[in-house]
Amino acid sequence: MTFNWLNRYYENTDESLLQKGKVFVLLGPRRVGKTELIKKLISNYSGNVFSGTGDNLDLREILSSQRLQRISSALGSYDLIFIDEAQRIPEIGFSIKLLIDSFPDKIIILTGSSSFELAGQLGEPLTGRQKQKRLFPLSIIELHQQFGGMHVVEKLDELLIFGSYPEVINQNTGIDKTEYLLSLRDSYLLKDIFELENLKHSDKLFDLLKLLAFQIGHEVSLNEIANKLGIAKQSVERYISLLEKAFVIKRLGGFSRNLRNEITKSSRYYFLDNGVRNAIINNFNPLGSRSDAGMLWENFMIMERLKKQEYQRIYS
């Protein structure tokens, strides 16, 4: 299948993403197109560019050494440094701090999945030195800009069932979309968590996701989930935190006009993509024959609002 590039919001934003002396960090779920987007953003850059990946053992050894002489010798001659899958490099934050302190005129770009947050590698070392953005599956804003409003209307049922991962949008048939989402579920969805966290009950993670998938729009009792899974409430809390950091789910806290009551209210949980949610429960039936159509609509609307807030920098 030929992959057709789908325009992303950050390609046309007025915001300056690439700045000298700053590290641009692009986070997001696996397979949403982070690497290809960066390649698009730097395609017309005229300076000397290094493009590498955290899977490269030589690059990993050089950066994880945290020896300025080695790092400078390898990367000092480049004007722009792009490292994909940077979460695979131990202590990447301190290594990049050394580089940016010594060469403040360089542009540095790091991409990776949620492992950045899971490992906590970019926090303190790059405080005040990074511009961090998130990339999601395709938004209605992006689809509307590229294809027009009528296209979105015609494809709405598909978006509710199969979601909007770029490769899903590019698939021609429902069977192809289904097969891709099942592959994503089995191969990539929880890969970061399994790589970095020593989970004793990894099967419980999928069971937890199934329970959350059937409670979209409802307040969730962690005690009830813990009882159903046969694990401690603390384990449920940990798993949910990991799933949110891995860009699988999104927690929304309760709302109350009394702020003290708001803190104690139960949360609701939504999936970052409808297609992923349906892959978890293995249900890709048409919208008209589903009993959970209301849940799909609510999940879809919540996530579109969150994408709009992220991309257009709406802080309310």
Calpha distance 155→162 (Å, rounded): 10
Query: Do residues 295 and 150 share a domain?
Result: yes
Average pLDDT score over residue span 184-193: 85
* Domain stops at, among 134, 154, 174: 134
Structure tokens at 139: 């938004």
Query: Do residues 259 and 114 share a domain?
Result: no
pLDDT at 201 (0 to 100)? 67
* Domain stops at, among 119, 134, 149: 134
The residue among 128, 154, 152 whose CA lies nearest residue 139 is 152
User: 71 or 316: which carries more pLDDT confidence?
Assistant: 71
Q: Is 28 left (phi over 0), alpha (psi -120 to 50) or beta?
A: left
What are the tens digits of pLDDT across the range 111-164? 987 665 545 667 677 777 888 899 999 999 999 999 999 999 999 999 999 999
Confidence bin at 215 (pLDDT 50/70/90): very high
pLDDT at 261 (0 to 100)? 55
For CA atoms 34, 37, 41, 46, give the dihedral sign: positive
Do the domain assignments include residue 316?
A: no
Please report, rounded to a whole number, the percentage of residues in the chain having pLDDT higher than 90: 69
pLDDT at 112 (0 to 100)? 85
Q: Which domain does 84 fall in, by range?
A: 9-134
Confidence bin at 292 (pLDDT 50/70/90): very high
Query: Do residues 46 and 117 share a domain?
Result: yes
Do the domain assignments include residue 72?
A: yes
Query: Do residues 78 and 130 share a domain?
Result: yes
Calpha distance 267→214 (Å, rounded): 15
Query: Do residues 29 and 70 share a domain?
Result: yes
Query: Do residues 72 and 18 share a domain?
Result: yes
Do the domain assignments include residue 3?
A: no
pLDDT at 269 (0 to 100)? 97
Query: Do residues 129 and 149 share a domain?
Result: no
Query: Do residues 172 and 258 share a domain?
Result: yes
Task: Please determine, for residue 283, whether its predicted confidence score (pLDDT) is greater than 70.
Answer: yes
With contact defined as beta carbons under 8 Å apart, do 161 and 286 qualify?
yes
91-115 residues labelled b (16+ CB within 10 A) or e (exposed): ebbbbbbbbbeebeebbbbbbbbbb
Please report, rounded to a whole number, the percentage of residues in the chain having pLDDT higher than 70: 90
Do the domain assignments include residue 2?
A: no
Do the domain assignments include residue 183?
A: yes
Task: Please determine, for residue 196, whether its predicted confidence score (pLDDT) is greater than 70.
Answer: no
Do the domain assignments include residue 4?
A: no
Residue 16: CATH number of its domain: 3.40.50.300
Q: State how many domains the chain has.
A: 2
- For helices 233-245 and 222-229, what crossing angle results, to 10°? 100
Strands 249-252 and 23-27: unpaired
Query: Do residues 161 and 123 share a domain?
Result: no
pLDDT at 92 (0 to 100)? 87
Do the domain assignments include residue 37?
A: yes
User: 14 or 98: which carries more pLDDT confidence?
Assistant: 98
Query: Do residues 57 and 123 share a domain?
Result: yes
**What is the number of residues in the chain?**
316
H or E element that contains 26: strand 23-27
User: 237 or 88: which carries more pLDDT confidence?
Assistant: 237
Structure tokens at 7: 């325009």
Among 37-46, 223-232, 247-256, the range scoring the smallest mean pLDDT is 247-256
Among 52-56, 250-254, 260-264, the range scoring the smallest mean pLDDT is 260-264
Query: Do residues 145 and 212 share a domain?
Result: yes
Do the domain assignments include residue 194?
A: yes
Query: Do residues 166 and 111 share a domain?
Result: no
Provide the total of helices (H) and of strands (E) in the chain, helices listed first: 16, 7
